[in-house]
């Protein structure tokens, strides 16, 4: 357990996803949880209106909410954008970063979550799991092991596309150490995944992107 205050921020990659992003930002705003959002197309995602940055109003939407910071990066692979967000969180002085997708939102008791998170946090880089529910075709499924919380984000690096994270060893130049998530779920918050808010065209773009991504791994 650490003595210092928990400073938590949500980090979110996005690209032309106005409706889903609006729902997410509303849930963050209701909990007064600050956020850093990175706009930009992933390499395998279809370019929209000949732009690598959002053109559907998503950028303006981000700036319309309080306690949000908009950064841009694209086109790039998933891990490069995640690393940009992790480094930005550290630069802004946050001790912990919560990774969220546009098709997700959060609910729960933020103060309880921070309390439980503090009890589990030590002085080294860590990854924690959070309660996760996925809704699809009217059914809800609970996932017991979703690693989304990063302690000391500036000392953590993502590699590849499937949630592989490493601790950056500062004592040895260019040395990294694989990080495993703490299997216990931090009580207080629940991530809810539901892409039904997206239209069929947007879901088809995502499906095509994921198929291309799987072939590139």
**Residue 185 in domain:** yes
**Residue 43 in domain:** yes
**Token output for 150:** 């990063």
Question: Looking at the DSSP assignment, which residues form a beta bridge with residue 131?
Answer: 190
Kindly state the helix (H) or strand (E) to which residue 206 belongs, with its residue range.
Answer: helix 200-216
Instruction: Check residue 140 and give its pLDDT.
Output: 79
Tens digits of residue pLDDT in 53-106 = 999 999 999 999 999 999 999 899 888 999 999 999 999 999 999 999 999 999
Q: Which domain holds residue 25?
A: 8-216
**Residue 3 in domain:** no
Helices (H) and strands (E) in the chain, counts: 5, 12
**Residue 1 in domain:** no
CB-CB contact of 15 with 45 (8 Å): yes
CB-CB contact of 20 with 102 (8 Å): yes
- pTM beyond 0.85, yes or no: yes
**Token output for 79:** 């891990």
- 202: nearest Cα among 20, 9, 1: 20
Once rounded to an integer, what is the mean pLDDT over residues 198-204? 79
Least confident stretch, 4-13, 18-27, 72-81, 200-209: 200-209
Tens digits of residue pLDDT in 169-199 = 655 556 788 888 887 899 999 999 988 888 7
Our count of domains for the chain comes to 1
**Residue 2 in domain:** no
216, pLDDT greater than 80: no
Tell me the Cα Rg of the chain: 17
Question: Looking at the DSSP assignment, which residues form a beta bridge with residue 140?
Answer: 135
Question: Looking at the DSSP assignment, which residues form a beta bridge with residue 106?
Answer: 191
Q: For residue 39, what is the domain's CATH number?
A: 3.90.550
């Amino acid at each position: 357990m650490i003595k210092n205050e928990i400073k938590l921020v949500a980090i979110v990659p996005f690209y032309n996803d106005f409706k889903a992003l609006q729902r997410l930002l509303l849930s963050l705003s209701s909990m007064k949880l600050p956020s850093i959002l990175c706009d930009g197309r992933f390499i395998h995602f279809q370019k929209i209106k000949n732009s690598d940055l959002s053109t559907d109003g998503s950028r303006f939407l981000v700036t319309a909410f309080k306690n949000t910071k908009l950064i841009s990066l694209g086109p790039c692979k998933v891990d490069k954008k995640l690393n940009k967000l992790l480094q930005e969180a550290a630069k802004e002085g946050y001790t912990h970063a919560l990774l969220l997708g546009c098709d997700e939102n959060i609910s729960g008791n933020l103060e309880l979550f921070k309390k439980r998170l503090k009890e589990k946090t030590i002085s080294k880089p860590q990854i924690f799991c959070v309660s996760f529910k996925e809704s699809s075709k009217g059914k809800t499924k609970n996932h017991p092991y979703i690693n989304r919380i990063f302690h000391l984000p500036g000392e953590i690096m993502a590699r590849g596309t499937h949630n592989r994270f490493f601790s950056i060893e500062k004592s040895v130049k260019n040395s990294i150490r694989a990080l495993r998530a703490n299997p216990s779920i931090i009580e207080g918050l629940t991530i809810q995944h539901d892409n039904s808010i997206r239209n069929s065209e947007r879901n088809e773009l995502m499906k095509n992107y994921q198929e291309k991504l799987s072939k590139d791994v």
